[in-house]
Each structure stands twice: as C-alpha cells, then as structure tokens.
Structure 1
Amino acid sequence: MDFGVVLQTNPPAWRTVDLARQAETHGFEYVWTFDSHLLWQEPFVIYSAILAATHRVTVGPMVTNPATRDWTVIASHFATLNEMFGNRTICGIGRGDSAVRTLSGRPSNLATLEDSIAVIRELGNSRGAVLAPGTDAERRVQFPWSRGSALDVWVAAYGPRALDLTGRVGDGFILQLADPDIARWMIRAVRDSAEAAGRDPDEVDICVAAPAYVGDGAAPAERAHMREQCRWFGGMVGNHVAEIVRRYGTDSAVPKALTDYVRDREGYDYNQHGRAGNTHTTFVSDEIVERFCLLGSPHEHVERLRELESLGTTQFAVYLQHDNKEETMRLYGERVIPAMAQTVTATS
C-alpha cells in the first residue's frame, strides 16, 4: 500500500511546502492538496515549489473539477510540471464542490466530467485530444512542446452513476472515507464497471482518503479530542451524501450506513469547509467519526489499513486538517508505514 497526505493550501505557502517536505521525509509517496481557489491559495503555483523542494513525491489535487478551470489549462499545468520535474504529477478530479458552490455555481454533470477526463488525460500524456466532439466546433488540439509527459487521472465518486463512470474511464478511484463496509460496496461497484467495460479491474488504483489522528487513544478525554478534531470530515462527506439522497432517495443500492447519518443535516457553511472545530457538524455522530476516520494508536491504524488493503485499497491518503499534523506524520513514518510494508529479509 502507498501512502499520501492531503494538505490545505493555507498561507503561508511555504508552510504547505514544508509539510510536503516532511511527508516525503517520513516515507509518504504522494502529496495531495485541496483545490478551491477562493477558500485557499492557488495549488498549482505551490506544486511547483513542492516539487522543487522534494525528490520523489507525486503531487496533485484532491480534487480539481471541470467547471472552474479550462480543461486544456489543467492539462497544461500538469504537462509543464512534468517537463520541469519529471513525471511526478497526478490529477484527482470530481464534479466539483467547494470550488464551485462558493461562487454560486453548480457541480458539473457526469457527461461533462467524462469529457473533461478524456481531454486532460490525452493532453497530459503528450497526445492529441478532441474538443467538442460531434459538434460544429469540433477540433483536435495538442501541446507541440510536450514530450513524454505521463499523467494518471483518478476520479472521486460516491453515487452509483459516478462509480460506474470511474470504473469505465478512471485510472484510479478516490474514496473519501475509510469505513470498510462502505468501501467494500464502492470498490466492488467500480471494479464491476471496469470489468463490464472490458478493462482489467485490478488495474484501477483505489485510494482511500480520510483524516488520521495518531495518539494513544485509550484515555476517554484524548479520544474525544481526536473525534472533535476530525468531525469536520463527516460534514464534508455529508455534502456529497445529501446530493445522493436527493437524486436516488433512501431506498437505493447505496448503503444505508452512508445515507442514514445525513437525516439531521440542516446546512453547511463553506467558510468553515475542511476546518477542525467548525460549527455545522453537530449531526455527525461519534460513531460516524470513528467509522469514517482513523483514530487512536498506531496499532489501531494498522488494523484498519489492513482491512482496507484486503478490499483492494492501493493507497491511503491522510487528511491532515487537525492540530497534530507533524506528530501524525512522524508516527506513520516510524510505526504505521513500516508495519504495512512487504517484509523483505536480507538472507533466506
């Protein structure tokens, strides 16, 4: 299993760069960031500094979207970074949430998302792409300056149709919660879709992303503090789940473990999006925090990660939006990542 961190691009930007550098030092292979240009600093500018300050980590957004950025500009960002620093970028993409809703926009529909993936992937891999296919505006474009760029596109999804799209066209699947029961259903849906599309299901990478807070976790007060620092995540996930409920109702194939908890959701303040201690997550129970996030001792983290790995997870990405960033990375580097590594002996 690979490991990544997910950072917010809060100022100062060099703090984000330093956290990325620390992540690499502790053995993480991926550095992801939020992409919401009104709420936080512009990530693609910061990616250049992260790549210059590190040696091997792969960087990218978790997640960008087709609505707030021109697709060819997104691809040009990645192809340029790859030319400058080697092929060390990755594109996480979804329909759009905070980046569009803070500007009174709407998430893209799935057809638009699928079209954008095709354009970004082709251009990001130094190939030609067709814009507006089947219309009078159809044209083929290609970066004449790009040679040998390599870019995977991983899709963030929750609902049945989005999971189906991910299986058909995604190089990877981003699941933003760490509940094994829900993950089992979603990973199966993606793999079934991939197989139906004639793809090898095992070739679709599976990234589970969730807050991880490492400590002793035994004392009730400490455990309660961990939950409060990560409760924001249930509110963020609740945005997507509420839309699924509106679209599919409560009697769909979506697991009730995912949909039931949003019944008492009353609203969401994007000014506090992704922030510990926000004021709009009272509907998120302690049980949901424990199920969606990884809390407690290194041993508890390893146990959950092994369960997720058995379901097909190939990467775990740690959201670090809490007050224990450096210590969580250190303990992952010293205790968790080594425990999850394949055992290799010097002699046999």
Structure 2
Amino acid sequence: MDFGVVLQTDPPASRVVDLARQAETHGFSHVWTFDSHLLWQEPFVIYSQILAATRKVVVGPMVTNPATRDWTVIASHFATLNEMFGNRTVCGIGRGDSAVRTLNGRPSNLATLRDAVHVIRELGSSRAVELNERTVRFPWSVGSALEVWVAAYGPRALELTGQVGDGFILQLADPDIARWMVRAVRDSAEAAGRDPDDVTICLAAPGYVGDGSSPSARAHMREQCRWFGGMVGNHVAEIVRRYGTDSAIPQALTDYVREREGYDYNQHGRAGNTHAAFVPDEIVERFCLLGSPHEHVEKLRELEALGCDQFALYLQHDNKEETLRQYGERVIPAMAHPVVATA
C-alpha cells in the first residue's frame, strides 16, 4: 500500500512545502492538496515549490473540478510540471464542491465530468484531443504522462469512475462502505471491458495518532476530526436528495445526515467548525483512523484487504508533525511487505 498526505494550502505556503518535505522523509509517496481558490492559496503554484523541495513524491489536487478551471489550463499546469520535474503529478477530479459552491455555482454534471477527464488526460499526456470542433494539443509537450483519478460517492458517479478513471478516490475509511463502493467501481470497469485492477483505489480520511486508551485523549481526537463527517455529509446529503434513502447506497452512509442542518464553507475542512455537531462519535470513528499506531495498522490492513492501493492521510488537526512521524516510524513500516537479506 502507498501512502499519501492531504494538505490545505493555508498561508504561509512555505509551511505547506515543509510538511510535504517531511512527508517524503517519512515515506509518503504522494502529496495532495485541497483545491478551492477562494478558501486557500492557489495549489498549482505551490506544487512547483513542493516538487523542487522533494525528490520523488507525486503531487496533485484532491480534488479539482471541471467548472472553475478551463480544462486545457488544468492540463497545461500538469504538462508543465511534468516537463520541469519528470512526470510527478496526478489529477484528482470530481464534480465540484467548495470551489464551486463558494461562488454560488453548481457542481458539474457527470457528462461534463466525463468529457473533462478525457481532455485533461489526453492533453496532459502529450496527446491531441478533439475540443470545440478542433484538434488541439500542446506543441511544446513531449513525454508527459498524467493519470486522472475520479472522486465519487453516488451510484452513477461510481459507474463513471469505473468506465473512465485511472483511479478512484473515496473520501472515507469505513470498511463496510468502502467494500460496497470499491465493488461498484470494479464492476463498472469490468462491464466497460476494462481490467478492474487497472483502476487504482485510493481511500482518503483523517488520521490522528495518539493515546487510544485514554477517554479524554480519544474524545479530543474525535473533536479534531469531526469536521470530516461534516464534509462527507455535504456530499451524502446531495445523494440522498437525488436517490432517497431506499437506494442501494449503504444505510451506514446515509442515516447520519438526517440531523444535518446546513454547511458553512467558510469553515470547510477545519477542526472545531460549528456545522459538524450532528456527526456522531461512531461515524467519526468509522470514517477516520484514530488511536495508537497499532489501531491504525489494524484498520489499514482491513482496507488493504478490500483492494485499497493508497491511503491518503488528511492532516487537518493539531497533531500534524507527530502523526507524520508515527506513520513514518511505525505505521508505514508495519504495512510494508517484509524483505529479508538471507533465507
């Protein structure tokens, strides 16, 4: 299993770059960021600095969208970074949430998302594409390679992901829900004539390493990560509006949003926000990874058995450096397949 870290691009940007450098030192292979240009600083500018300060990590947004950026500009960003730093980028994309809604816009429909995935991947991989009744390409781009991973929750979005995504981003770490969603993506890939194993599975959720046996410490961890249930609930509420509560979507995902009253994007992805009180402790525990390194490893092994290729660790809490250190020294080594010098 690979490990990524998900950062917000809060100022100063040098702090984001430093956390990315620490992540690479501790064995993380990917550095992701939020992409919401009103709420945080511009990620593509910061990617250039992260790549310059590191040796191997792959960078990308978790996630961008087809609505707030021109697709050819997105592809140009990636192709330029790849030329500068040697194909160390990946494009995470979804229909659009905070970047769109803060502008009073609407998420893109799935047909638009499908087209955007194709255009961004082709141009970002130094290939020509048909767009607006013209054949276009970057004449300066040679040898760029870009994968596009699709973030999804609802049935139709999961189906689309299996049909066109190089990867699937699922923003929660509940094994029961993940099992259903991973199966839906793989079934869709197989129905589309693809090898289901060609779709990289990335699960992303907050991880907080601390004293899992202390009730007060455990409660603090939950409060630091409760925002995530609110963020996921923002997507789930839309799914419930569209499909109702009697669809094939697991009830464990849909039940908890019944008490949801609203969402304040000014506090999006932040610990201690005021709109996540409806998220019960059980959901925080199920959706996130909390507790001792041993507890993290146990849950990660369960997720790996479901087909998770990468776990992306959200670090929006007050224990960033220590969590990175514990992952580097205890969690990631425990998840590695043993290699012996002699046998």
The bucket for the TM-score relative to the shorter chain is over 0.9
Corresponding position of 2:76: 76
**What SS does the aligned partner of 1:206 have?**
strand
CA offset digits 1:293-328 (Å, max 9, x no partner): 000000000000000000000000000000000000
Which residue of structure 2 aligns with residue 284 of structure 1? 279
3-state SS, counterpart of residue 263 of structure 1 = helix
- Cα displacement (A) at 1:335: 0.3
Measure, in 2, the Cα distance between the counterparts of 1:301 and 1:171: 27
Normalised by the length of structure 2, the TM-score is: 1.00
Alignment match of 2:333 (pick from 338, 342, 345): 338
Partner of 1:135: none
Q: Superposed, which structure 2 residues align to 1:1-348 within 5 Å?
A: 1-132=1-132, 138-348=133-343
Q: CA deviation at 1:62?
A: 0.1
Equivalences, count:
343
CA distance in 1, matches of 2:294, 2:123: 43
1:38 match: secondary structure: coil
What is the alpha-carbon distance in structure 2 between the residues aligned to residue 83 and residue 105 of structure 1? 33
Residue 209 of structure 1 deviates from its aligned partner by 0.1
Shift, 1:215, TM fit = 1.0
Q: Which runs of 5+ in 2 are unaligned?
A: none
1:148 Cα deviation from its structure 2 partner: 0.3
Instruction: Return the alpha-carbon distance in structure 1 between the equivalents of residues 135 and 230 of structure 2.
Output: 41
Give the SS at the match of 1:3. Answer: strand
What is the alpha-carbon distance in structure 2 between the residues aligned to residue 333 and residue 284 of structure 1? 30
Deviation per CA, 1:114-146: give whole Å up to 9, x if none: 0000000000100001114xxxxx111000000
- Cα distance in 1 for residues equivalent to 2:241 and 2:136: 38
**Whole-angstrom CA distance in 2 between matches of 1:232 and 1:205:** 26
Cα distance in 2, alignment partners of residues 283 and 140 from structure 1: 50
Q: Which amino acid aligns with 1:345?
A: V
Q: Can you list the C-alpha shifts for 1:86-120, whole angstroms capped at 9, x where unaligned?
A: 00000000000000000000000000000000000
CA separation in 2, counterparts of 1:38 and 1:323?
23
Structure 1 length as normaliser, TM-score? 0.98
Percent identity, aligned pairs only, is: 85
Letter in 2 for 1:128: A
2:335 alignment partner AA: M
CA RMSD, Structure 1 to Structure 2 (Å): 0.4
Q: Which runs of 5+ in 1 are unaligned?
A: 133-137
Equivalent position SS for 2:59: strand
- Distance (Å, rounded) in 2 between the aligned partners of 1:246 and 1:200: 33
CA distance in 1, matches of 2:8, 2:77: 19
AA of the residue aligned to 1:249: G
